[in-house]
Amino acid sequence: MEYALTLDGVTKRFGHFVAVNQLSLRIPKGSVYGFLGPNGAGKTTTIRMIMSIFYPDEGTISVLGHPNAEEVKDRLGYLPEEKGLYKKMKTAEIIAYFGKLKGMPSAKAKQRAVEMLQKYGLADWVDKRCEQLSKGMSQKVQVLGTLIHDPELVILDEPFSGLDPVNAELMRDIILNMKREGRTVIFSTHVMEHAEQLCDYIFLINRGNKVLDGTLAEVKKGGEHGIQIDYDGDGSILKTIPGVTRVNDSGKTAEMFMANGHDPQEILARLVGKLRIRRFDIREPSLHEIFIRAVGGKSDE
Amino acid sequence: MSKAFLVAQREYVENLKTKTFWIGILSFPVILSLSILVPMWLESTKDTRKYAVIDQSGWLLPKVEERAELPDLEKFFLEMWKKPELLANADSKVIPMMDEFRKRAGKLSDEEVQQAAKQFSDTLTPGSDSPVLASLPSEAKEALVQLREEIRRAWKAMPPEEARKISRDFSKSRYQRIETTDSEEALKHRIDKDELFAYIVIGKDPLDGSDGCKYVSNNLTDESLKDWFARTATEVVRERRISDAKIDASVAKHIQEPLAFVETKVGKGGEETKVTDQDTVRQWAPVGFVYLLWISVFTVAQMLLTNTVEEKSNRIIEVLLSSVSPIQLMIGKIAGIAATGLTVLGSWIVFFFLGTTLVPKMLGRPLPIDFSIILSDPVYLSSFVAYFFLGYLLFAAILVGMGSVCNSLKEAQNLLQPVFILLIVPILAMMPIGKDPNGTLAKVMSFIPPFTPFVMMNRAAGPPTTFEYVATTILLVVSIIGAMWFAAKIFRIGILMTGKPPKFREILGWLRAPVGALPVRKEE
């Protein structure tokens, strides 16, 4: 398999604090790869090292076959978590400026910026200044600025944070579209649904250490099966049912895990009458459960 | 480097769109013309000062009035000589007589004309010819005597409003005595009601001393009326005392003759030349340049700081860093803002050139002092541009480094306070160095890099030796390279940092750390 990105024993220390420890990863070309982990786990540091904004203290990184991202910066697209726009510039101007910084000829960058704005429903905003945009629109402009030069490898740091459902849907479409076009997409998130829906591969990091990586199926395979229900009623009683060890209650849906030797049917019987059960299902654990178990239920906020 | 160019280009183009830029461009000509027009306007709106005199001596006041007329006549003569058309409708006799005098005297030098006018005020030895005029043909002298008589007559007949139109410098146009028999009490009352500017009391025996002389006014700042009246009265009293003592008039004149020292300077070849107004302008021009330099370096360097902090708080930095390296970003910003600053400066120079040479030429009214020497001296202009550039680079490095660690303008301002305190020094030293451009203070300060651009500009009239130019420039350039190196190290770490600004010790740590290593920061 061809890899768009490989990391080998990469370590990054800030003083005595180890932000990323001995990380090795292989990211196949054309895949959608999710970086998961709680806040402060080292996702952003890893991404910044890939982008050569930080240099690793140990280990090597190879991006698109080059040991240093500086050499291939023009073939990469990067949307950082902390992102902004020049407020006084017009939307098309700033997208074109990002394109020019990636080595596009000026005229082509301008033309493409306008085309992209039209394609993504911002045709009316071509001549507007960035300060007039709503948050969702400026996020769109930022994404377009990341993609204007048709990058081979796209890295999005928390692309879904702060997006409403409509814009989140659009973001999903953009990612899937890039995958279809054969680009490699890496994105970080701590919302498991996004990862479950989109990723071919995931990588879970906690406190600077890799917890697991692989395809979605591989990651889930080893895990303990659980009961998933859809229900109406007071979910707080779920925890009181004998034999249930853990509950991930979301209000209308819940995931439960049983102590050894208990029968799911027995649990169903105890639930009936107390709650209105609309679905009852036994399956591999959700990514959420894997995540929680891996990080020990705590995050380093 | 083409990416740094793109950054610079964007910076420049965006700056051209800001209000600050246009205010910067336009403020200079506005301030320049205001500083010329406002005093002129204020002078023109100044009212004629009305005053009253109580003369207890019984003889001094008429003599003073007579005496006060003499400088006016002298000035009037010169005005008429230069622009006879001013009197075209007022009195027709003066002009033919003046023409007659011109014809008989032949070509007159400026000095001869001055002397001809001066004779009005020669009260000690009236009628005697000054040595300068002695060589005139006798018929010319006759014509001059008649011309003077005619001018005296025309002046007496001229109402104050007419005199005001010719010039505001005549005492006739500035001060007007109100004829009054009021008591002092009544005059006080009139001053209180603003009907009178002042009243003057002349003592019983002014020949004896100043007993009983006083000047009463509520305006304590404008003393010109008091000074003028006192000076004129003193002259009258002095003449009376001389004649009472039976001192020969020509002896008295001789005694009072001041020693005039001709100011000269020595040129490069050792030849002596007279000092002109232009030399004075040339000597003091660098002070003006220093002031302008100081303002422009700081305005522009601060623009860079504001811009860096804003960009950082905008969170756009990391997006840019995915395409350009921090060093390219820093170089691009510094260059883009330097271009903005040079554009503003260039416009100022053009405005200055237009204001001092072209516009007066077009209006046909030359400025009293020729400022064009400032622009025609290549040392001034080239050192101004060069020191702007070098000074800017040094402070740009300092401010961009500082700006990169700050999250808000407020933080940046706090951090900058010590820098600004340090930078008041060249402004404080500006006048002493202007007076003594090659003194010890000037020489020592030239070698302190943050002061070098300002002090060397200040000394341009000296001028400093070539060795000093070379040595200070090398020192400055080395400091700039050093400061840029420090700034680059701080910039690439600071620019990505959020939260509390780092402590000074932390920043020192960054300088030692290899490029790209970010020290840990404890944040709660």
DSSP secondary structure letters along A63-91: ETTBS-HHHHGGGEEEE-SS----TTSBH
Q: What per-residue confidence (pLDDT) applies to B384?
A: 85
Question: Is residue A30, in this structure, part of any structural domain at all?
Answer: yes
| Chain A: closest CA distance from residue B492 (Å) | 9
Q: Is residue A160, in this structure, part of any structural domain at all?
A: yes
Res A271 pLDDT > 90: no
* pLDDT in the model for residue B382: 84
- Determine contact: B327 vs chain A, CB below 8 A: no
> What is the predicted pLDDT for the residue at B516?
47
Do A118 and A202 lie in one domain? The reply is yes
pLDDT band at B332 (very low <50, low <70, confident <90, very high): very high
How high is the pLDDT of residue A109?
92
Residues of B in contact with A96 (CB under 8 A): none
Nearest CB among B3, B316, B520 relative to A86 is that of B316
Task: Sheet with A58-63: list strands edge to edge.
Answer: A17-28, A3-14, A58-63
Look-up of token digits 């007066």? B360
* Chain A residues touching residue B498 (CB < 8 angstroms): 82
Residues above pLDDT 70, as percent of chain A: 97
In-domain check, residue B518: no
- For residue A140, what is the domain's CATH number? 3.40.50.300
Q: Does B18 lie at the interface with A, CB-CB under 8 angstroms?
A: yes
**B435 & B291 share domain:** yes
Please tell me whether residues A63 and A152 are part of one structural domain: yes
Residue A301 binned pLDDT confidence (cut-offs 50, 70, 90): very low
One domain, residues B222 and B307: no
Residue A274 sits in the same domain as residue A175: no
Give A 68-87 residues with CB within 8 A of chain B: 70, 73-74, 76-80, 82-87
Query: Are the CB atoms for B399 and B300 separated by under 8 Å?
Result: no
The C-alpha torsion from B413 through B418 and B423 to B424, rounded to 10°, is 90
pLDDT in tens, A72-109: 888 999 998 878 888 888 999 999 999 999 989 999 99
The Cα–Cα gap between A64 and A184 comes to 10
For residue B463, being part of any structural domain is answered with yes
Query: Cβ–Cβ of A84/B519 closer than 8 Å?
Result: no
**Would you place residue B151 in the very low, low, confident or very high pLDDT band (cuts 50, 70, 90)?**
confident
The pLDDT score that the predictor gives to residue A163 is: 81
Cβ within 8 Å, pair A76-B324 = no
Distance from CA of residue B80 to its chain's centroid?
30
Is residue B365 located within the same domain as residue B493? Answer: yes
Longest pairwise C-alpha distance within chain B: 103
Q: Do A101 and B518 touch (CB under 8 A)?
A: no
Q: Are residues B251 and B352 in the same domain?
A: no
Band of residue B475 on the pLDDT scale cut at 50, 70, 90: very high
Please state the domain count of chain A.
2
Cis ω before B366 (30° cut-off from 0): no
Bridge partners, B295 (sequence order): none
Question: Both B199 and B332 in a single domain?
Answer: no
The residue out of B256, B287, B322 marking a domain boundary is B256
If asked whether residues A216 and A229 sit together in one domain, one would say no
Yes or no, beta carbons of B318 and A82 under 8 Å apart: yes
Domain count, chain B: 2
Give the position of tokens 């999710």.
Answer: A34
pLDDT in tens, B225-243: 899 999 999 989 988 898 8
The answer on B54 and B29 residing in a single domain is: no
- In the predicted structure, residue A161 carries a pLDDT above the cut 60: yes
Q: Do A112 and A232 sit in the same domain of this protein?
A: no
- Tokens 């970080």 label which residue? A188
A95 & A179 share domain: yes
Q: Does the residue B521 lie in any domain?
A: no
Given CB atoms, is A188 within the 8 Å cutoff of chain B? no
A89 contacts B323? CB cut-off 8 A: no
Nearest CB among B315, B320, B518 relative to A14 is that of: B518
Question: Quick check: ipTM above 0.90?
Answer: no
Most B-contacting residue of A82, A93, A141, A149 (CB-CB within 10 A), to test interface: A82
Check CB contact of A102 with chain B, cutoff 8 Å. Answer: yes
Q: Tell which of A101, A139, A147, A157 to mutate to test the B interface (max B CBs under 10 Å).
A: A101
B201 sits in which H/E element: strand B198-202
Residue B512, pLDDT above cutoff 50: yes
Q: Identify which of B323, B517, B521 has the shortest CB distance to residue A102.
A: B323
A220, A242, A262 - which closes a domain: A220
Could you tell me if A157 and A22 lie in one domain? Answer: yes
CB contact under 8 A, A53 and B498: no
User: What is the structure's pLDDT at A46?
Assistant: 92
The reply to whether A77 and A160 lie within a common domain is yes
pLDDT for the residue B518: 47
- Could you say which of B189, B222, B256 is where a domain stops? B256
Same domain, B250 and B166: yes
Residue A242: which CATH number? 3.30.70
- The residue of chain B with its CA nearest to that of A146 is B319
Question: Domain boundary at A220, A246, A262, which?
Answer: A220
Alpha helix segments (H runs only) across B314-446: 317-321, 326-353, 359-363, 372-376, 378-405, 409-428, 430-435, 440-446
Query: How far, in Å, CA of B516 to CA of A186, rounded?
Result: 23
Query: If you measure CA to CA, which chain A residue comes closest to B10?
Result: A97
Decide if B347 is inside a domain: yes
Provide φ and ψ at A289, rounded to 5°. Answer: -65, -40
- Residues B155 and B72 sit within 8 Å (Cβ to Cβ): yes
Contacts of A169 (CB under 8 A, 6+ apart): none
Q: Are residues B234 and B291 in the same domain?
A: no
Co-location of A13 and A152 in the same domain: yes
Q: How confident is the model at residue A212 (pLDDT cuts 50, 70, 90)?
A: confident
A293 falls within a domain = no
Q: How far A225 CA lies from chain B's nearest CA (Å)?
A: 38
In a domain, A299, yes or no: no
Say if residue A26's pLDDT is above 60. yes
B514 neighbourhood in chain A, CB within 8 Å: 55
Distance from CA of B348 to the nearest CA of A (A): 27
Q: Is B13 on the interface with A (CB under 8 A)?
A: no
pLDDT of residue B121: 67
**Average pLDDT over all residues of chain A:** 86
Sheet holding A153-157, edge to edge: A76-79, A153-157, A184-189, A32-36, A201-206, A209-215
Say whether pLDDT at B438 is over 50: yes
In a domain, B264, yes or no: no
Does B324 lie at the interface with A, CB-CB under 8 angstroms?
yes
pLDDT exceeds cutoff 50 at B522: no
B325 touches chain A (CB under 8 A): yes
Is the CB of B18 less than 8 angstroms away from the CB of A88? yes
Rounded mean pLDDT of B405-411?
83
Looking at the domain assignment, is residue A92 inside a domain? Answer: yes
Domain boundary among B256, B289, B322: B256
User: Does residue B452 lie in a domain region?
Assistant: yes
**CA dist list (Å): B137 to A29, B100, B103, B110:** 110, 13, 11, 17
Cα B157 to its chain centre, rounded Å, is 39
The nearest alpha carbon in chain B to A155 belongs to B322
Contact A15 B519 (CB under 8 A): yes
Q: Which of B318, B323, B496 sits opposite A98 (nearest CB)?
A: B323
Strands A209-215 and A201-206: antiparallel
Q: Which of B410, B332, B266, B303 is nearest to B1 (CA)?
A: B332
Tokens of A191: 């919302």
Between CA B37 and CA B236 the distance in angstroms is: 38
Q: Cβ B314–A76 below 8 Å, yes or no?
A: no
Hey, what amino acid is at A253? Answer: T
Is residue A51 one of the residues assigned to a domain?
yes
Distance CA A248, CA A228 (A): 9
Does B310 share its domain with B219? no
- For residues A256 and A265, is the Cβ–Cβ distance under 8 A? no
Closest residue on chain A to B509 (Cα): A15
Give me the domain span that covers residue B26.
Answer: 2-33+277-512
C-alpha triplet B31, B32, B33: angle, nearest 5°: 95
CB A153 within 8 A of CB A64: yes
Cβ pairs bridging A and B (under 8 Å): 75
Considering the domain architecture, whether residues A114 and A150 belong to the same structural domain is answered as: yes
Q: What is the pLDDT of residues A2-16, one digit of tens each?
A: 889 999 999 988 778
The pLDDT > 90 percentage for chain A reads 30
Closest CA of chain B from A79, distance in Å: 6
Q: Which domain holds residue A228?
A: 224-283
Inside any domain, residue B268: no
User: How close A178 gets to chain B, by Cα (Å)?
Assistant: 19
Domain boundary among A174, A195, A220: A220
Do B370 and B491 fall into the same domain? yes
Which is nearest to B393 in space by CA: B350, B453, B443? B453
| Assigned domain for B156 exists | yes
**pLDDT per residue as tens digits for the range B242-283:** 888 888 878 888 888 888 888 787 776 777 777 777 777 777
- Do A205 and A231 reside in the same domain of the chain? no
Select from B14, B514, B517 the Cβ nearest to the Cβ of A88.
Answer: B14
Considering only the beta carbons, identify the residue of B318, B517, B518 that sits closest to A80: B318
Residue A297, domain member (yes or no) = no
Q: With a CB-CB cutoff of 8 Å, which residues 204-243 of chain A face chain B?
A: none
Distances (CA, A) of B433 to A161, A300, B281, B378, B425: 61, 61, 16, 21, 12
pLDDT at B410 over 80: yes
**Inter-chain residue contact B314 with A85, CB threshold 8 Å:** yes
Residue A68 shares a structural domain with residue A96: yes
Q: Do B319 and A80 touch (CB under 8 A)?
A: yes
Residue A294 inside a domain? The answer is no
Q: What is the CA radius of gyration of chain B?
A: 33
Same domain membership, residue B54 and residue B28: no
Residues B167 and B231 in one domain: yes
